[in-house]
Amino acid sequence: MFRLLILFPDMKLVSDKQDLEMMAGSAIPSSINLPEEITLLIHFKGKIRSFETTLGMSSSYGNANLVATIDSLNHFSGNMQLVDFDMGSLLKNKTMYGPVSMTAQVNGQGLDAKTMKAQIKVDVSQIYLNNYVYHNLLVDGAVRGREFTGKINLNDKNAVMDFNGL
């Protein structure tokens, strides 16, 4: 039996929009605009369906960090951080979307959206939506399939929301 173990202990990729478009071609959705500059610092150990990885990205749109694991039984965990990441440029809509800074944690099992079970916690310190920068959005709950149960709180000076339910 052949088993492929992939190990990138400390890989650094530095590229630009033209290189990424040349390599990925039609796999890039037309609704996405790639950053002009991108640098990735990657640590990856494992197999395609069972791995541990750390990814640090800096780009002309902002910075992102990800730590993720998945095991052979599809148990997964992840921590993500975005710092002033320009979603408006990425999604080609700078009126509706803009910079976002947030942290997110997820722990769960299953890779099928219909049967997945996960606990999520998200802390959005700022997010630009529809010409306004919202602050202090918190999400804490459980996802089962396509259903969310938990709390969503927004405590902005111009908008307050307190949701607890399904």
The one-digit pLDDT tens for each residue of the chain (166 residues) are 556 777 778 889 899 999 988 988 888 999 999 999 999 999 999 988 899 999 999 999 999 999 999 999 999 999 999 999 999 999 999 999 999 999 999 999 998 889 999 999 999 999 999 999 999 999 999 999 989 999 999 999 999 999 999 9
**Backbone Cα Rg of the chain:** 18
pLDDT of residue 20: 87
For the entire predicted model, the pTM comes to: 0.84
Q: Is residue 1 part of a domain?
A: no
Range 18-50 burial, b when 16+ CB lie within 10 A, else e:
eeeeeeeeeeeeeeeebbeebeeebeeebeeee
Count the domains in the chain.
Answer: 1
Is 135 inside any structural domain? yes
Structural domain harbouring 37: 6-165
